[in-house]
Structure 1
């Protein structure tokens, strides 16, 4: 009995530790939402699940230490629903970020991002004008485009150096015009439109050398945000899947140990009842 309680307590302690990466992933997504990705609602389910796992594992740990059957039942049922919620959330995260990725460009190290490559619930939400006005302002206020400026020996980097850079999806989609426009590179966020092909892409018309506008209203910028969000969520989903597998294993072991405790309690109760029947004179009044 004591060994089973110790095992359950250890499982709950390990479960508590497993909640830390989930909570950390949610906090990381929150920091990205405030600085880069600018999607400020998807991280909260992860944070809630991480906190819930922490609280429930503490309840299970207390139940194991004090042999409190109610707390153990609460732990097992609550953990069951938390695992189910985490499974559903991982599936949802992969479903909404399933489509779309950057396209390679000849003689460029960075990718180009096109809105038509994305579809589904997340794409519709991001491209809604009322919602995009907030996201676009967030991207602009993050100064991500200003951070793309680089200098070599005090001089701005050349076009060839810029073309060899691996830009992030947002840097590629929001901070420069699409390559198809054939605009001439001046610096990372300043391009000459002389000799360009504005009709090739509507984003060519939307591009502006005004540092407050750039390509924040371009479809490529919306695609860049979706591409950045996909990368962030896939990283967190890998951690969630690993933790989920661990939680399932811990849950199965905890269930087995709890059933063993109940069986031992029943055996002890049966043994005491049998002794009372066989030796009634030993009953103390």
Structure 2
């Protein structure tokens, strides 16, 4: 029994370690400017990671110190957390399965259309109240001024691999036909009827294209890219937790069998 409990404790310590990348993924998302402005995914990931850590720690204590009710608590609650983590992984995949960028002639960067994204993601930015808060947060970042420092010539900018957020918010849509002065200052549009965003563009450095649908689409594309990276970490942690949980269940069952066999021998003698 003691040996099986030690095995359970050691196995659960691996679960404690697996909680670290889950929390780390949430913390990383919270440090990204776009995620910090939207505040959707990072807190569920962080909270789930912390709960996994605490429950796994309870399993470690229950294993090494032979506290049976802690082991039962671990087995029940960890199963619930694994299900929740699985649901989160599936949810992230479903809402980010759409939203690829579109190439433009003579441009290295991509442009993004709001209608290409899932309905759930679009609802996060279509509410005027929500977008006003997000827009204010985005305009306070340095992502657009950084373009002016990095690209002086038009061709250098056209060949640049800028982020989806910069593509959507810091410049007008290419189809409008604006003339490049610098990355955040454009004049003389050729076709303002090509898209409503063509009329939304402003050379005011506090406005730019933050009111454009292309900015909302660029934000969602940025979120999609970062959420997909976080999802890889969550999937790896999930697979590890499932393996640890199954091994822990087997060890717990063996420990109970050993205990029953020991009691049977004591009663027989």
> Same fold, TM exceeding 0.5?
yes
Tell me the secondary structure at the aligned position of residue 93 of structure 2: helix
TM-score by length of 2: 0.97
- Name the CA distance, whole Å, in 2 between partners of 1:6 and 1:66: 8
- Name the CA distance, whole Å, in 1 between partners of 2:248 and 2:117: 42
Q: Does 1:98 align with 2:93?
A: no
C-alpha distance after superposition, 1:25-81 (max 9, x if no partner) = 01111122xx23321132111111100011011100010111111010001111100
Contact 1:36–1:144 at 8 Å: present in 2 too? no
Q: Does 1:187 align with 2:182?
A: yes
Alignment coverage as a number of residue pairs: 268
Tell me the secondary structure at the aligned position of residue 211 of structure 2: coil
Q: For residue 279 of structure 1, what is the aligned residue in structure 2?
A: none
C-alpha distance after superposition, 1:173-217 (max 9, x if no partner) = 00000000111100010111x252111111010000000100000
Correspondences of 1:1-285 after superposition (within 5 Å): 1-32=1-32, 35-37=33-35, 38-151=37-150, 157-192=152-187, 194-275=188-269
- Structure (1 or 2) with the larger CA radius of gyration: 1
- Name the CA distance, whole Å, in 2 between partners of 1:119 and 1:44: 21
Contact 1:4–1:261 at 8 Å: present in 2 too? yes
- Name the CA distance, whole Å, in 1 between partners of 2:152 and 2:107: 15
Tell me the secondary structure at the aligned position of residue 186 of structure 1: strand
- Name the CA distance, whole Å, in 1 between partners of 2:121 and 2:241: 28
Segments of 5+ residues of structure 1 without an aligned counterpart are 276-285
TM-score by length of 1: 0.91
The Cα shift of 1:125 comes to 2.2
Segments of 5+ residues of structure 2 without an aligned counterpart are none
- Name the CA distance, whole Å, in 1 between partners of 2:99 and 2:78: 34
Contact 2:170–2:184 at 8 Å: present in 1 too? yes
Is the deviation greater in 119-128 or in 220-229? 119-128
The Cα shift of 1:106 comes to 1.5
Contact 2:2–2:66 at 8 Å: present in 1 too? no
C-alpha distance after superposition, 1:1-32 (max 9, x if no partner) = 33322221111111101100000001111122
Alignment RMSD (CA, Å): 1.1
